[in-house]
Amino acid sequence: MNNLSINEIQRFSFDNTNVRGERVLLTDAYQEIIKRKQYPLPLEKLLGEFVAAIALLRDIIKIDGVLSIQAKGNGFLSTLMTECDEFQNLRGVIQWDETQNVPDQLPLTEVLAGGYLVITIQPRNGQRYQGIVEIVGDTLAECLEQYFLQSEQLPSRVWLAANGAQCGGLFLQRLPAEQAKSGDEDAWERFTHLASTVKAEELLGLETTELLHRLYHEESLRLYDTKSMQFGCSCSRERTFGAVMSLGAEEVREILIEQGSIKVDCQFCAEHYEFFEADLAAALGDQAQTH
């Protein structure tokens, strides 16, 4: 098996049923994200599940804009965030308590104790929408299933896996009955039961057509075009400059006096930005005159 360059998501549906699905498999796109930081393997795996999840969500919730999943809680993780835009650019980051040993297993109910997931839909034009789902289970898949039930009232099943080299996911959703093309009553039970037999190695090791054939060769399956996905960070010197100036002229001057320059590292891609007095002078001067 050679999955070294697969970074794809593919939609599928079953003829004469109201069930649709998505399958994502990411290699380089995922590796680009995790190599930006020295993550212990359990965190690489957890971040991989979040990256696969945002890729699935991106193809299910179609908007022109940015979609993100952010986890919040009082456990060992302080930041866990993934994002995907309409051009299939993926990025993600975890920040954790580096003074503690990282356990092999990271059940979400512990590492995000009392926490929740925030799913943000930010269209390019239009209002931001946020959905919040409590951490209802130890896996991200369980929390996402709850999110779909809450936000769309649609039964959905999610399978996610990651191993530090690949991350992948499988998604099934039962659309409202009136959209059913015929009365295959058992379809949902049958398809989800079959998908539940998928092992992590298959989810990460098989190409989509192979995986779906293995599961559903007796069904009438329809595959849609694949979409490629890649790592991409939306940070820029201009945006970072804006963030620095939002601290206020006084604060910016203080940091310049103390440190000689203002250094900012992008948490997603680790790009370094540094601003000196000459870079900031015009903006500082303008603000000073308004006092």
Q: Which residue carries 């990025």 as its tokens?
A: 91
Q: Does 268 bind Zn ion (CB under 5 A)?
A: yes
Residue 11 CB, nearest approach to Zn ion (Å): 29
Of 170, 195, 266, 280, the one binding Zn ion by CB under 5 A: 266
What Å distances lie between residue 221 and 24, 180, 225, 240, CA to CA?
17, 15, 13, 47
Do residues 232 and 89 make contact, with C-beta atoms less than 8 angstroms apart?
Answer: yes
Residue 175 CB, nearest approach to Zn ion (Å): 37
Q: Is the CB of 256 or the CB of 269 nearer to Zn ion?
A: 269
Q: Does 231 bind Zn ion (CB under 5 A)?
A: no
Q: Is the CB of 243 or the CB of 281 nearer to Zn ion?
A: 243
Of 24, 29, 162, 235, the one binding Zn ion by CB under 5 A: 235
Of 221, 269, 283, 284, the one binding Zn ion by CB under 5 A: 269
Q: Does 118 bind Zn ion (CB under 5 A)?
A: no
Q: Which residue carries 């998505």 as its tokens?
A: 22
Stretch that binds Zn ion, among 49-57, 98-106, 133-141, 265-273 (CB under 5 A): 265-273
Helix H segments across the chain? 28-34, 41-60, 108-111, 140-152, 187-195, 200-205, 208-216, 237-245, 249-259, 277-289
Q: Closest Cα partner for 116 from 77, 58, 153?
A: 77
**Three-state secondary structure call for residue 107:** coil
- Binding residues for Zn ion, per CB under 5 A? 233, 235, 266, 268-269, 271
